[in-house]
Every structure is written in structure tokens, then in C-alpha cells.
Structure 1
């Protein structure tokens, strides 16, 4: 019986406490509309909130001491080593040749004969065509008869003069007459020679422009186009800022997109004149053309070696950032603990030339230094980092 009374008493006490707790709940306090009760409840809740915040700080601090890298950002790194860096200036140019010419007549008349056809190979001095001389050949025959007579007279007068026979005046007149006739013959021969069209150099007849039987005029009627594909080159304009870097003999990679062909060659000539209109100078690049596949006016892309460093430190352009002062910086890994843990260090660098996404670093890092790759833009100076290996 005594146990029953004790049990009842315990139930009454718990019921009373539960009822008191329920009476003091937020809902009841809000329903009471009592400002004093509301203020007391708020003070009670703020105190509990501060107590919980203090406890969380203590727990976070202890976690940081025990596990410094569990929540550190994951990164990848590379070690920078010195290597050769070859920089290229990339420009465009067109193929040309000094042995490309359109042949014009040097004499007015009818094109009586054409001895060549398109695609035919010819040698220097070979006769390509003949123009009607308009009767000059007959005139030459008559002049030669007069020249022979003048020469005979001169030879006879000369022998007499050597024997002290005749006057000096007769001798000089005979000599003058002969020389005049000989000069007239030579001039007419030169004139007739212009009626024969010859090849100025060896090459291929690319085009027969005027057909046989047409009337042609000096400097007005193109006859043939002659080309030689052996001595090909590219002429291009280079900005004057590269004047000290582009020299004769520098290596050049030439790419012909249309042909799907790439060749290695070099600069054979650098111009000494700066064009004031566009501030450029001329460069000639020799083009080997053994298979004759490269034609005049073909477009080409040139990569001219303008800078080479045998011991360069190279990094990707994509990991470089810039601060408000315009300084470039990257992040390196310092204070390493084992193989996979360390701290990020902000490192100011000075860069040089770039080739694509690769940049040469001139100052700020040393050979063998470990720099952050993946994650470089998400870390902070001094922040713990965890290094992962990329397979």
C-alpha cells in the first residue's frame, strides 16, 4: 500500500512539472499577451542560443586541432623544371618567285609563228614565236651588199695608203663610209632580232596568251606567261617591333593549309627599310619546291623563330591571376607535411613571352618549385591544401 502512495506521489509531481513546462512554452507565452512574460522568455532563449554558440566554437576548435586537412580544398600540382623554350612569331604570307614574267613583243607586226604550247618546258634563249618583219630582211640584204662594197673600197684604199699612194683624205673617206654601212647593218639586225621572241630564262610556258596570226604591239599585247618553280620564296611584312629579333638565317616553319603540307626553312633576306605607312619591314623566306607542288600566290602561314631560351621556366597561362595593382601571381605549395598536405602561398611573378597557353616565368619561382594547377583560383594565401595525384 505504501508503494502505491509513493507511485501516486511521483506521478503527481511529474504531472505538475510537465504542466508547468507546458505553461511556460512559447505558445502559451505568446497567447498570454503579457509583455513581461514575453521579455522573460526572449531573455531565456537568447541565453540558451549563446550557450549553444559557445559550445560549437569549442567543438570546431578541437576539430581543427585534430584534423587540419579533412575539409581543405583538393588541388593538383606540378613541379616546374627548366627546359628549352622556342617562341615563334606567327604571320601570313604569299608565295612568289622572281622567275615569273609576262612576255610582251618588242616589235609591231603580225604574229606569224608560235613555236610553243602551254605546259611546255623551255630553255633560256629558246625561240618562242616569230613576228613578221615587214620587209626588213630585204632591206638588210641590200645594206649588206652596200657594206661589202664599202669594205672592198676601204681595204683597197688602205693598201694604197700603206704604200704612200693616194691622199689621206681618200683613205679616211673610205674608212668612214665602211663604218657607216657596217653600223647601219648592225642596227637593222638588232631591229630584225626584235621580231624573234625568246625565253629570258628557263621555265614552263604557263599560258599562251596571243594566238598566231594576231597583230601585236610593243608593250601592249601580252604573248606568253613564263614561270620557273625552282626559285620560290615568301615575302611578308613584319612589324618593326621585331626588328632586333628577326635576322637572316632564323628558322621558319611554313604551313600550306591547302596542300596539307609543312616545311622547315629559314629567312634568306631581311629588308633594311621601314615602311612609314604601316611601320613594317620586308622579310623573304626561301621555299624548297622539289616536287613543284607549290605555286605562285599560294597562301601560307609562317612561324618565325624570334626568341629561344635554353633554360626557361614554363607554366600554363590559365593558372595566372592578377591583383588590383596589376601584378601577376600564382600559388605555390609550402610547408609540406608528407606527400599530400601543405599550405598555399601566393607568389608574385614576372612573365615573358607566351606561346599558346604556355608562358615563360622570368622572376618569382625557381627550378623544381611546386605550383598549384587544378584549384589555383579557389585557394587563399596560407590556406591548408590537400594534394591529389592525377592518373
Structure 2
């Protein structure tokens, strides 16, 4: 009986000692540090925007005669295409021709008189004053002749560029006054598309990145399956009355395979990111970036989800922006980077995600 009691006491003592050792082992086991992670995604995600647009003429001119007269030749119709230099309309030119003949006669007479006066002055038969008067009369008659030639040319209205007759304001055989609108001519080679941009996006649209992978494209309502590249032309610096938006104009060559007229509906799609997405890998907060003590290299801490550990990853920095610091190289889409408490990390340290946050 005494031996049995001794044996039980030894077993109980052994169990107690083993339990204490286990508790001690658990107590000294290091804890796994939680870290805040940022997953690198495509920097262009969500940067595309589409805006309703209206087609407008790139160049439009309201043409008029520079003098009054009787319209005798005007056979255009709206929508007709004309070439640069083509005569669009003509006034009765008889009065201008008669004036020109008179000015030519005056000029020839003054020219002959000036020549005679020069010979007489050389022979000292007239005074210098008479010679100077003849010279002045010659110059005056020459100027009058040039003016008469201009007046005759003003009886014709010519096209300043290749274009389309958009509007006709008068009929043939009417009396027209100087500077009275005759027709509206629109340029043919290019067209504009006009969009209204809310103030929250105005700076991004008007200073869009020319190196962005996705450049502005236009789709027209009568052929939405086709897209056409466009370039920023100009933008307003004052809001459109009655709205909190700004007018922005893009331009593009007129599509050759379809008819596009001013006033038609369209849609413009563009990448509003202001970063050079061809070379930029990501944008990270400053708290995610540190310098290595031994060599001063710029690094971030990348998390390996399979091993549950962090390792240093050397990166190349770009510009400092309002969104964070640009990372040009060293990380890629899908990487997970520690963005807080990097000063407490060491190479190969076991960590666990504190919270997942999807970023740029």
C-alpha cells in the first residue's frame, strides 16, 4: 500500500512539472506581428471617363462683301463643298471697272507729266517746286489706281479655305450692303467635339497626360462601334452659365467613311490619370518607404502570403504627388506591401495581415 501511494505521488508530481514546462514554452513563444498591407493593382483602374459631346465646326466664317452693290452671280446651295479660292458670289462690277479705267488714265497722264518735268528741271527751265508737285501727283495717281484695282476685286467673294456652305443668308439679284452677311463657310478637313466637364474633373481633363496608354477617343451616335483619336484643342476658364462645368474642346480629322455634321451627338472617352502610366508601377504612401541602413537603398517591405513573412524589396522612386510617392520600378501588380510600422520589421520576420486595403 505504501508503495502504491509513493508511485501515485511520483506520477502526479511528473504531470505537474510537465504542465509547468509546457506553459513556460508557450509563454516564451514570440507573437506574430500584425501589419497593414496594401495590394498593388493596375494604376489605370477606374481612370477612364466618358463624357457626352456635341460636334462643332473647327473653323467657321461668316463671309460678306466689302462694298455695296447688286448681286448678279450667286448659285450656291447649303451643304455644297467649295475649294479654297473659288468664287462664291459676284456683284455687278461695271461701276468698279469704269472707276478703274479713269484711275489708269490719271496715272498715265501723271507719269508722262512727271517725265517731262524731270527733263525741264534738268535744263533748268522749271523750279524744283514744280518738279516736286509733279512727283506728288504721280504718287497720288498711283495710289488711286491701286485702290480702284482693290475695289474691283472686292466685287468677288472667294472661299478663304476648303469647306462646306453651312448657311446662306441672301438670294441672288438682291442689293447687298457692305459687310452684310452672305453665307457661313465651315472648314472641312477637321471637326471639333465639345464636352462639359464638372469642376471636380476640370484640372485632370484640361491637363491630360499625353503619355497615357489610353488616349482620348470619340464615338459618334450614328456609328458607335467605331472610335476616332482626338486631341485637346482648347478649354474655357470660366464656368458655363447656369452650370458648374467648363467647356472643353477636342479636335480630330473628319472621318472619311461617314458623314459628321455640326450639332450631331457623340461620346468622348479619355484617361484622366495625370501620371505617366507607361513607366509608373504604383503610388505608395510615404509611410511604406524606407532607406536601408547599410547602403542607403530605398526599399519597401513585401509580404509573402505563402510563407507569412516580409522581405525587403528595392524600388526606384518617381515624383512626389498629392496621392503619394510614385514608384517607377521594383514592384508589380499583385504585390502586397506593408504601409505602416515598417521601422519595426526585419528581414524574414513572420507577420500577419492586420487589414486588407486595395489601392492604386
Question: TM-score, length-normalised on structure 1?
Answer: 0.52
Q: Verify: 1:128 aligned to 2:92, yes or no.
A: no
Note the 1:228-243 alignment, pairs <5 A: 228-243=187-202
Question: Which of 151, 156, 161 is equivalent to 1:201?
Answer: 161
Q: Rg: which structure is higher?
A: 1
Note the 1:291-310 alignment, pairs <5 A: 291=256, 293-307=259-273
> Residue 223 of structure 1 aligns to a residue in which SS?
strand
Mapped contact 2:58–2:251 kept (Cα < 8 A): no
Question: Which of 237, 248, 253 is equivalent to 1:283?
Answer: 248
Structure number with higher helix proportion: 1
Structure 1 residue 143: deviation in Å? Answer: 2.2
Q: Deviations over 1:304-351 (max 9, x none)?
A: 2112777689xxxxxxxxxxxxxxxxxxxx9xxxxxxxxxxxxxxxxx
Q: Verify: 1:265 aligned to 2:229, yes or no.
A: yes
CA distance in 1, matches of 2:238, 2:164: 35
1:119/1:234 CA distance change after superposition, 3 Å: closer
CA distance in 1, matches of 2:50, 2:172: 48
> Residue 166 of structure 1 aligns to a residue in which SS?
coil
Mapped contact 2:75–2:172 kept (Cα < 8 A): no
- 1:255 — aligned with what? 219
- 2:204 — aligned with what? 245
CA distance in 2, matches of 1:209, 1:274: 32
CA distance in 2, matches of 1:168, 1:98: 59
1:173/1:239 CA distance change after superposition, 3 Å: same
CA RMSD in angstroms comes to: 3.4
Unmatched 5+ residue regions in structure 1?
A: 1-79, 314-333, 335-351, 353-365, 370-391
CA distance in 2, matches of 1:261, 1:289: 17
CA distance in 1, matches of 2:230, 2:162: 25
Q: Verify: 1:180 aligned to 2:144, yes or no.
A: no
Length, aligned pairs only? 239
> Residue 82 of structure 1 aligns to a residue in which SS?
coil
